[in-house]
Structures are given as C-alpha cells and as structure tokens.
C-alpha cells in the first residue's frame, strides 16, 4: 500500500482548521452558512491549483454527514456516474426504513471542465432531482467549460490563490507534521520559508509536496535543497497541474515580449503534453484583445479563426493552426490601451456604484418618460459637446491613445 502523502495527512476535516477563502467560509459567509444551516446545494468551485477546492468539498460533506464520492473527470466516464446513481437508488429504500431522510451524497467531480457535453448532460437530471449534490472543481472559467443547464443548477464560487500569510500557516503545519512523522526536530529557517512561499505562488499542494520531497531527498529544508529538488529527476510535477499553469504562463509572456521562438517552444511543450487545443486557442483570443488591441485589430480575427480551426479540425493538424496564430500574435505590435481603459472604468463602477445616467441618454418609450426629459434634445448636442458620462465622472478619460 502506497504511503499517504503529507498533503493528505495535514488536510483539515472541519472549517475551523481550514486555511484561506475567508470570503466563503468566514463568519456569516455563504459556505459556512450553508453548512451551519445544513442546507448545502450543488456548486462549482473555480480557482487555481492548491487553493483548497478538494479540501473544502470534503469538509462540506463531513460536517453535514453526507457520503463523499470523489471522481476525477480526467479518467471518469459516464458509466462511472451510472454505477454511482444505481448504487444510491438501490440503497435509499433501506435507508428510508430507518431514518426520515436518506443520507445525502456529495459527488465531488474534480476537473469538471474535462467532462464533455454529453457527460455533463448526463449529470443534469440527478442534480436536479437531488439524487446527488454535485460539487465540481475547475481551474478554468466555468462560463466556457460547463454547459449552461448544469451551470444554472449550481452556484459558482471563486476561490483565490492563498495569500503569503495563508501559505505560511500551511507550510508550518506541514513541517510540524513531518517532524512528528520522522520523530525529530526539523530546522526550517525564515529565508527558506520565504523562498518556498514565493516559489509556490499561492499553491499549497505544491509547497507541501516540495517540503515532503526535499526532506526525503536531502534530509533538510534549505533554499539550496529546495532548488536541488526542483531540478531533481526524481521529482516530476503533474503536467496537468503546476506544469500546466507554468507553461501557459511562459507561452503568454513570450508572446507579450514579441519572442515568437520562445512562444513556439512553449506551444510545442503543450502540444506534446496533449494540452486541450481549445484551452490554448482561448488564451490566444484573450491575448489578441488584451495585449494587441487597437494596434492591430485584425489580431482578434486571426485568433478567433485559430479557435474555430481547432474546434473543427482537432489534433494533430490543428497544431499547425496554433503555430500560425502564435507567430502572428507574437510578432504583432502591442497596445494594452483598451484593456487598461476597461480596468479603469471598472474601478469607477466599483468605487461609485451605478451613477445616474444623464437624462438625455435615457430611453424614452412612453410619454411620461418624455415629460420627465428622458432623451431630451439628444440630437441637438454637437459631437464634441455631448455629456455622455454621469455628472460625477464628467470629463473622465479611460481610453488613452
């Protein structure tokens, strides 16, 4: 039997020991309230690797005394879901004879974005009728990756990468547990701790794995031993986990730096690893508007056509389309003015709320609205003298050329 990983050993089983995500599990926050009131519902957890999605799902099941079933959408099939449903339905009559309500079943589906449309469709009736309480976890935007009917039956919660303070708690807990397992004191200096937290970048699982593997390989936790572990042939991170995000990050930053050679190299790594071509193409569409924008508006057309080609052609041939788009985007002029303008406008919306829209811009479908000056004399304003922004923001410039 394989040894239980350190990350599993330190995994908390109640909210009081859970680290991070205070916006969801703090006092009066939605997930804590759902647990306290025993009113859990189907939900989707969207967040980066190592932020606590699996742990939180387990805690929800544990604290509401629900049966917890864990599946990974990478390997699970529709038949696996069918077997689970058959088993649940077969047991419910026996349970009904003993208790008022059958035991709730929480089905945790990790990487739900890897389930295709047909597989997600199959889940719908069981979620809707309450046979299962679905908790899906995804690192991808569920608006793109989860079908609308299923999404409408779930609440989506965004989980954030852990802060440095949260990470400090995690690594302290991991080192203390490791010391207990090894029955010895383990030196862990401040500089090594800070280096590890910076390297892990909010990913608790990666930090704990580094602690465990480094100590097994070198018997100490120092900056030097951590760096040696990262280069060790004995340690290989999951290409669909940390490496997945490191590579797409390097790919995007290479295009941003207008380096087609580096971008093509990281593209080749993703293609070789079997990365979903639509995942890559979607990032290209975003990049075309975020980083190239008005300097070369046709970049968005090219990126969308690459996405379409990947949809219709698939591997292996669509790798050529990805390469074509990569070189085009990497060598295009860059302009982030439109992106920066959006963020500035969003900040004002957040800071000021929904400011009153000027009367002459309002729709006036009724006589009463016209009497109230809705839309009054809009056409009489010269193009350069229209007061189009709310009064409090008059003269504000978001888009700067």
Question: What's the CATH code of the domain at 125?
Answer: 3.40.50.300
Quickly count: other Cβ atoms within 10 Å of residue 260's Cβ: 18
Q: What is the pLDDT of residue 373?
A: 59
Sign of CA dihedral 220, 225, 230, 232: negative
The answer to whether residues 152 and 172 belong to one domain is: no
**Residue 125 token pair:** 């009736």
- Burial class of residue 107 (count of CB atoms within 10 Å of its CB; 0-12, 13-18, 19+): buried
The answer to whether residues 154 and 184 belong to one domain is: no
The answer to whether residues 33 and 114 belong to one domain is: yes
Tens digits of residue pLDDT in 317-358: 999 999 999 999 999 999 999 999 999 998 888 888 888 887
Q: Which residues contact 129 (CB under 8 A, 6 or more apart)?
A: none
16 in a structural domain: no
Q: CB under 8 Å, gap of 24 or more: what pairs does 272-279 form?
A: 273/239, 273/240, 273/243, 273/244, 273/247, 275/244, 275/247, 275/248, 277/310, 277/314, 277/315, 277/318, 277/319, 277/322, 278/307, 278/310, 278/311, 279/140, 279/248
10 in a structural domain: no
Q: CB under 8 Å, gap of 24 or more: what pairs does 184-188 form?
A: 186/215, 186/221, 187/220, 187/221, 188/221
Domain limit, last residue, from 182, 197, 231:
231
Asked if residue 175 lies in contact with residue 61, where contact means CB atoms within 8 angstroms, the answer is no
The answer to whether residues 25 and 152 belong to one domain is: yes
* SS3 assignment, position 98: coil
Distance CA 228, CA 222 (A): 10
Domain span holding position 300: 242-331
The answer to whether residues 216 and 282 belong to one domain is: no
The answer to whether residues 265 and 283 belong to one domain is: yes
Domain limit, last residue, from 231, 251, 280:
231
Evaluate if pTM is beyond 0.85.
no
Q: What is the pLDDT of residue 134?
A: 95
Number of domains the chain is built from: 4
The answer to whether residues 123 and 37 belong to one domain is: yes
Q: Which residues contact 236 (CB under 8 A, 6 or more apart)?
A: none
5 in a structural domain: no
Element spanning 138, H or E: strand 133-138
The answer to whether residues 226 and 253 belong to one domain is: no
Distance CA 190, CA 192 (A): 5
Nearest Cα to 330, choosing from 248, 247, 260, 253?
260
Q: What is the pLDDT of residue 156?
A: 93
The answer to whether residues 220 and 256 belong to one domain is: no
Low-confidence ranges of the chain (pLDDT < 50): 1, 93-101, 233-240, 384
Domain limit, last residue, from 210, 231, 252:
231
């Amino acid at each position: 039997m394989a040894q239980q990983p350190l990350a599993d050993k330190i995994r908390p089983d109640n909210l009081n020991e859970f680290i991070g995500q205070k916006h969801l599990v703090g006092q009066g926050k939605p997930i804590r309230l759902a647990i306290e009131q025993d009113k859990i519902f189907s939900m989707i957890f969207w967040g980066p690797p190592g932020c606590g999605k699996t742990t939180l799902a387990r805690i929800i099941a544990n604290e509401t005394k629900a049966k917890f079933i864990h599946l990974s959408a990478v390997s699970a099939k529709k038949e696996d879901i069918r077997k689970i449903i058959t088993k649940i339905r077969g047991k419910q009559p026996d349970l009904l004879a003993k208790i008022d309500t059958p035991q709730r079943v929480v089905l945790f589906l990790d990487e739900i974005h890897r389930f295709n449309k047909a597989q997600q469709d199959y889940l719908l009736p069981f979620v809707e009728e309450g046979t299962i309480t679905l908790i899906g976890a995804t690192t991808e935007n569920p608006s793109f990756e989860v079908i609308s009917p299923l999404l409408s039956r779930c609440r989506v919660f965004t989980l954030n990468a852990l802060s440095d303070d949260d990470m400090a708690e995690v690594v302290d807990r991991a080192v203390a547990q490791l010391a207990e397992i090894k029955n010895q004191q383990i030196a862990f200096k401040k500089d090594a701790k800070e280096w590890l937290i910076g390297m892990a970048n909010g990913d608790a699982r990666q930090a704990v794995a580094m602690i465990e593997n480094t100590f097994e390989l070198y018997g100490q936790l120092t900056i030097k031993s951590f760096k040696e572990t990262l280069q060790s042939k004995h340690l290989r991170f999951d290409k669909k986990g940390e490496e997945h995000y490191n590579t797409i990050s390097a790919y995007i930053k290479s295009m941003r730096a207008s380096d087609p050679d580096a971008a093509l190299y990281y593209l080749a790594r993703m293609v070789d690893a079997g990365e979903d071509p639509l995942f890559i193409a979607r990032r290209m569409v975003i990049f075309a508007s975020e980083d190239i924008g008005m300097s070369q508006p046709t970049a968005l057309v090219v990126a969308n056509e690459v996405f379409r080609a990947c949809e219709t052609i698939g591997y292996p041939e669509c790798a050529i389309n990805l390469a074509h788009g990569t070189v085009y985007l990497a060598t295009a002029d860059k302009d982030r003015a439109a992106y920066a303008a959006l963020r500035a406008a969003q900040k004002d919306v957040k800071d000021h709320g929904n400011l009153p829209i000027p009367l002459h811009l309002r729709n006036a479908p009724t006589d009463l609205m016209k009497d109230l000056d809705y839309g009054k004399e809009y056409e009489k304003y010269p193009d350069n003298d229209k007061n189009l922004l709310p009064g409090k923001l008059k003269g504000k410039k978001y888009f700067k050329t």
